Structure 1
Amino acid sequence: MAIAAFAVLLAAPAAQGACRQALALGLDISGSVDAREYQLQRQGLAKALGADDVARAILQQPSAPIRLSVYEWSGPRAQTVILPWTTITGADQLDAARQQILTAPRSVQDQTTALGSALLTGFAMLDTQPDCWTRTLDLSGDGIANTGPRPQDIARSRTPQGVTVNGLTIAADGAAGAAEVQALSAYFRAYVIRGPGAFVETALGFEDYAAAMERKLLRELQSLALSDARQ
């Protein structure tokens, strides 16, 4: 699966012109994610990208657009790109990217949670976008790593220069899930997120994933706009 994913990645055409942000999004499809939750995650990402405020922020500077890529991850060798790097220059491109996220074939699911491998996959993807002003990796997850490499074993020095890694932790359903996700968010803060302004957003169940993703995207895009304004 990893070979197929990187074949798609390397086959993506080189983008033209300025790029203000490269945004790679990694979706957790490990064994703890059932079929309903899998669909809620894909649908939630597509919905968040199409939300009025998010779309407006993405499309606000067509002369220096954002590039998006999405991959699904689970085990150490199970990472699959479902949206190769796509330059979003207008509403048509954004709609097409959202449609591909919704309709791409389902990736083969490994039962384990290789969060460190997901991190390294995102690094490799962002390494192909060196001309973007900022580069961001978003990792969604509903559990800690249970197979290697673990995020805490990946030195901060291996993070590509200038890359920010943000997290979106997902609570299990019910009252117990709300307590457990606090520990998961602490784990992400300690070992997963890194880089300038890195943060963790929380979804209180997969039903809340779209709203949490929208909040996270707006925060990232607004931070970028403020950074541009200071230049």
Structure 2
Amino acid sequence: MNRLRKLGVVAFVYVLLAGGSADPVETVTDTNVVTGLDFSHSVSLEEHWIVQEGLAQALLSPEILRAIQAGHHGRIGFALFGWHTTIMPLLPWMRIGSADDAELAVQRIRAAIIEQIATEATLRRAESRFGRPTDLSHALSSATAMLLAAPFRSRRSVINIIGNGPDNVNEDAQGARDAALALGFTINGVVLGHDPDVIAYFQQKVVGGPGSFVEHVPSPEGMAEVLRRKFINDIVIGFADGSEPEPDH
């Protein structure tokens, strides 16, 4: 319960930083999706370029748009952040329900990641002896707080974690995972590379909730396809049970 109370406080801070809801009238979405990108030193800057373009191609694909528009409300909430031992906002919550929305999201993501990669390049030259560890627990707790503070109401909330290693800071990721699951959230994972130990770690201590899954990207060429397939699963599973849509207010 201490972790859940702490998440509530952090979520309140996110609301204050965001200035409250982005819409004067509450918006209902089919799914709220927040994605965290691993910026620890085990992920190269070249891999970040590949992830960036994979995200762009996935979000702009016609299959993603069709999946979104087939939902009860025809829109999703989407947010993106980077993480290592700290959290780096990359895309604040925005609503995606059209090709124009997706294009705007991609423009903002590309600009934010380009800026973050430039910052990381400078920091990594200065910190080459030490590196940046992987605080996966913090990433999960922050994603949970972002979902609690989302300006859109939704019957399904999804956390996506994209990374290539286990938590190596303090507490393991399992506690933060369990706190998110206790709130009814789903956590999915994308492992960069094909290390069976990392894949098993994600399966056992990171993902969970209804319809959860772990994907892995064995080669850079497969990034866009894996992310496209992952986002479609995120979106479609949210209304595939045939349940009645919630009314807009």
TM over 0.5: yes
Structure 1 vs Structure 2 CA RMSD: 2.4
* Contact 1:9–1:85 (CA under 8 A) maintained in structure 2: no
Of 13-22 and 30-39, more deviation after overlay is shown by 13-22
Aligned to 1:208: 222
| 1:226 pairs with 2:248 | no
* Contact 1:117–1:149 (CA under 8 A) maintained in structure 2: no
Q: CA deviation at 1:140?
A: 0.6
| Larger Rg over CA atoms | 2
Q: CA deviation at 1:194?
A: 1.6
Report the TM-score, using the length of structure 2 for normalisation: 0.79
Q: Closer, same or farther in 2 for the Cα pair 1:222/1:61, shift >3 Å? A: closer
| 1:154 pairs with 2:168 | no
| 1:44 pairs with 2:54 | yes
Q: Closer, same or farther in 2 for the Cα pair 1:194/1:210, shift >3 Å? A: same
Aligned to 1:19: 29
Q: Closer, same or farther in 2 for the Cα pair 1:154/1:62, shift >3 Å? A: closer
1-structure distance, mates of 2:70, 2:211: 22
SS at 1:149's partner residue? coil
Aligned to 1:121: 142
Listed as ranges, the matches of 1:181-192 within 5 Å are 182-192=196-206
Q: CA deviation at 1:96?
A: 0.1
Q: Could you give the per-residue CA deviations for residues 156-179 of structure 1, whole angstroms, max 9, x where no partner exists?
A: 2454522100001111xxxxxx3x
Aligned to 2:185: 163
SS at 2:210's partner residue? coil
Q: CA deviation at 1:198?
A: 1.2
| 1:31 pairs with 2:41 | yes
Q: CA deviation at 1:49?
A: 0.9
* Contact 1:74–1:114 (CA under 8 A) maintained in structure 2: yes
Q: Could you give the per-residue CA deviations for residues 125-183 of structure 1, whole angstroms, max 9, x where no partner exists?
A: 01113721100000011111111232024362454522100001111xxxxxx3x2x22
1-structure distance, mates of 2:92, 2:110: 14
In the alignment, residue 99 of structure 1 is paired with which amino acid? Answer: Q
- Give the alignment partner of residue 100 of structure 1, picking from 90, 99, 108: 108
Listed as ranges, the matches of 1:69-148 within 5 Å are 69-75=79-85, 78-104=86-112, 105-106=115-116, 109=120, 111-129=132-150, 131-148=153-170
* Contact 1:123–1:160 (CA under 8 A) maintained in structure 2: no
- Give the alignment partner of residue 57 of structure 1, picking from 64, 67, 83: 67
Q: CA deviation at 1:31?
A: 0.4
* Contact 2:30–2:155 (CA under 8 A) maintained in structure 1: yes
* Contact 2:60–2:99 (CA under 8 A) maintained in structure 1: no
Q: CA deviation at 1:97?
A: 0.3
Percent identity, aligned pairs only?
A: 27
In the alignment, residue 221 of structure 1 is paired with which amino acid? Answer: I
